[in-house]
Amino acid sequence: MNFFWFISENFLETLDIADAGADVFRVPDYNMRSRVCAHNDRWFCFKERLVENLKEKLAQALNAAKSLEAVEKIRVDFLGRKGSITTLAKNTDFATMTAEAKKEFGQKLNELKNFAQERIAAALAAVQASNVHHKSNDLDLTAPGKGRRLGALHPITLAQMELEDIFQGMGFSVLYGPEVESEYFCFEALNIPHDHPARDMQDTFWLKNQLILRTHTSANQVRTLLRFGAPIRAIFPGRCFRYESVDPSHENTFYQCEGLVVDKDISVANLIAVMKTILSQVFKRDVKVRLRPGYFPFVEPGFELDLNCLLCGGKGCSTCGDGWIELIPCGLIHPEVLRHGGIDPKEYSGFAFGVGLTRLAMMKFGIRDIRYLNCGDLRVNEQFTTLV
């Protein structure tokens, strides 16, 4: 059985197998090619040599190639449309082969193509790597990467986000008022006139034009009533400022979360129920609380809701003092405040509360000194990365 293999003279020369003639017959072909005919076993022998020869040539050429252009030229020479390997495949007269020979040579050709592609890709990568190296001798590609510091949310932000979620789950809106506030909303509208001694309870940072840094988030109460009317359920988390001397439990900048419910027939029972529900969700455990009467000009009656200290279990420590943390002052909204908000106190009543958000975060995360929270030391925040 004879096999016919069309191959160009040129191509045979490029393969440098002039001696291949020992195994094959070259027959001039009508389209200027030689028809290479060989007997079965000879043909196989010749084919093996051709493929091996091409592999060797490719490897040699790639070894010598030191630039991207040189490797690209080799790719075109071997795998391009007129490249040696492509030509070898194109000019193989598969039609005249036995099924067995077709299969075997087809496999050989595929192997050859894969071999060429892999070697060329490797050579490209090597040239590229050495280029990078040449450009910057200081660059050590084997050096380990630089670790990036992970950011984290501030513990107060975490506590605030959680509180917002819990209140939203109970149908409260979350609203944010201005930190630079008018004296009116901060004091007068809340039943704290100029000459009222209650003003002394909150040492204030005064700005120009009767503006102040708000001393409490309660300043949002009347703003909100005027804007949205009743009925309403809302909380107002945010930053407050007081001219305080700083110690482990006092800061001049701290966070509160004011809350407000105005509707028909709102009583102290509603207030207690909401406070209990919120705190049990915040601390995810049973907490002990106590209610004491408290005086705030904008609520009547007014209370202090204290939380049994979670740090010392109520024994007393530097954070709480006597085992109780003053956490939520609250009360029924004073009729005068409702009036300032344009609400008729005969028709509506409501309660208000002021959660000490900074204190809450300290309790929640076991932070013993309030000064850590504003010190700007990233090592504080980094301890909370896993909570985000």
331 binds ligand DAH (CB under 6 A): yes
Pick one of 275, 352, 363, 373: the residue that binds ligand DAH (CB under 6 A): 352
Find the residue with minimal CB distance to ligand DAH: 354
Within the chain, residue ranges assigned H as helices are 9-14, 40-64, 68-79, 84-90, 99-135, 155-169, 183-186, 220-228, 268-283, 335-340, 357-365, 371-374, 378-382
How far does Cα 223 stand from its chain's mean position?
A: 36
Pick one of 163, 258, 262, 306: the residue that binds ligand DAH (CB under 6 A): 258
Cα radius of gyration (the chain) = 42
From residue 196 to residue 225, the character string flagging contacts with ligand DAH as x (rule: CB under 6 A) and all else as - is --------------------x-x-------
Separation between Cα atoms, residue 129 and residue 134, nearest integer Å? 9
Closest CA to 299 of 273, 260, 327, 269: 260
Sole residue written with tokens 């609203």: 175
Pick one of 212, 330, 337, 338: the residue that binds ligand DAH (CB under 6 A): 330
Compare residues 17 and 225 and give the one whose CB is closer to ligand DAH: 225
Least distance to ligand DAH, CB of residue 266, Å = 13
319 binds ligand DAH (CB under 6 A): no
271, 275, 287, 309, 325 from 291: Cα distances, Å: 11, 11, 13, 14, 12
- Neighbouring C-alpha atoms within 13 Å toward the C-beta of 382: 7
Please check whether residue 371 is in contact with residue 246, taking contact to mean a CB–CB distance below 8 angstroms: yes
Sole residue written with tokens 């000009």: 297
329 binds ligand DAH (CB under 6 A): yes
Least distance to ligand DAH, CB of residue 236, Å = 10
Start-to-end CA distance of the chain, whole Å, equals 76
Interaction with ligand DAH in 177-196: which residues (CB under 6 A)?
none
241 binds ligand DAH (CB under 6 A): no
Compare residues 91 and 270 and give the one whose CB is closer to ligand DAH: 270
Q: Which helix (H) or strand (E) holds 26?
A: strand 25-28
Which of these segments, 65-73, 91-99, 323-331, 367-375, binds ligand DAH (CB under 6 A)?
323-331
349 binds ligand DAH (CB under 6 A): no
Which of these segments, 38-46, 54-62, 79-87, 350-358, binds ligand DAH (CB under 6 A)?
350-358
Interaction with ligand DAH in 270-299: which residues (CB under 6 A)?
296, 299
Positions touching ligand DAH (CB under 6 A) are 216, 218, 258, 296, 299, 302, 329-331, 352-354
